[in-house]
Amino acid sequence: SIHPVPAKAMKGRSMREVMREKGVPGRFLKDLRGDRGRKYQLTQAATETHTRSCSQSFYLGDISIGTPPQHFLVLFDTGSANLWVPSTYCQTPACVDHARFNSSLSATFRGIGETYTLSYGFGDLSVVLGYDTVTVSDCHVNQEFGLSLDELTRPFYYQGFDGILGMAYPGVGIPGYNTLMQNMLQQSQLAEPIFSFYYSHNPTYGYGGEVILGGVDPQLYSREVLWAPVVQELYWKITTGWCSQGCHGIVDTGTFLLTVPGQFLSAFLQALGEEESDYGFIVNCSDVPSLPTLYFAISGAQLLLPPSVYVLNNDGSRTVGVESTYVSSASGQPLWILGNLFLQQYYSIFDMANNRVGFALSPLSLQQ
């Protein structure tokens, strides 16, 4: 069947702002940016390389694990493949400040005992594997998952989510174990081998959008669906025509901003008439209506992103919602990351059977 999962939007304060509020010295705040592309550099098979977008909105959903259920707020992330949550095995402040899974309180938990390190751009996360019933909406899955053993204060203590539910291909997950999406299919929990995302144009914590497991909701998009084939079955990576030699773009719900290949950033900003400052790419409010619309060539069509979408309002100041990466695709093409900023404009459909990503305008996009 089809399982809609309401998404909550953690919006309004960046991790940088939360850290500043908690008295973290400014010299540490300068080190937050990192390179978003590092999460896609594959190292050893048991390691997943991550960075999380720490600067704007996250879209989170509720899941439960165990019998009786223990509840967690997780990031639904198409840029990673593993499921993990904090656990009572972990005593660091980052764990204690979030919901933690207590294996001794679940009648259906079974320990696996294998430990792995998930490497993040800002630090590592160590987990031990366990097995239990995972519930997402009204979907019940017998699933292996990671129980955190150690989480660094920066960035995990400052994040609004407890754990991460990865939805990328199994090739970037812990080897030898099925991903949650694989098990949902094998355990006949999904009507179709598809999941989709809708992000509200005016997100709130109560409702930021929906994740649809097992299908699509036609009421949440308009017109036809544009399909783009996946070029490498690790991440949801497609081809986009921003570069003369062709670029790759990863469709990543775990990143907020639009990430530009570093070699194109200067020309990109020059075309917008903007320059970088210590506070990002600042835009005068009066200039926003005259900024150009961005066009992404995907599967023979032009997907547009107007300035009303890519210019962000941060407590009255306007910034261009971009950042850079110097990581290229495995085959050498420059790499874009199409994060939630892009996906607010388009309903996105991830077709696991046909290895393709679909885009359709969300209803409010037609009015822009």
For residue 347, the cross-strand partners are 360
Q: Which residues contact 106 (CB under 8 A, 6 or more apart)?
A: 65, 66, 67, 68, 70, 132
351 is catalytic: no
Phi-psi region of 45 (alpha: psi -120 to 50; beta: other; left: phi over 0): alpha
Sheet harboring 280-283: ordered strands across? Answer: 276-277, 280-283, 317-320, 311-314
For residue 163, the cross-strand partners are 74
CA separation for the pair 183, 62 (Å, rounded): 18
**Which residue of the set 77, 132, 162, 351 is catalytic?**
77
C-alpha closest to that of 343 among 136, 201, 170, 213? 201
CA separation for the pair 139, 364 (Å, rounded): 30
In the numeric block, the tokens 């764990």 are attached to 95
**Which residue of the set 31, 252, 278, 287 is catalytic?**
252
Contact 146, 160 (CB under 8 A): no
Contact 306, 293 (CB under 8 A): yes
> What separation in angstroms does the CA of 123 have from each of 3, 26, 38, 71, 108?
34, 19, 12, 25, 32
> What separation in angstroms does the CA of 177 have from each of 71, 114, 206, 211?
23, 11, 34, 24
Q: What is the DSSP letter of 336?
A: E
C-alpha closest to that of 221 among 365, 26, 13? 365
35 is catalytic: no
- DSSP-assigned letters across all residues of 201-213: SS--SS--EEEEE
For residue 346, the cross-strand partners are 361
List, by residue number, the catalytic residues. Answer: 77, 252
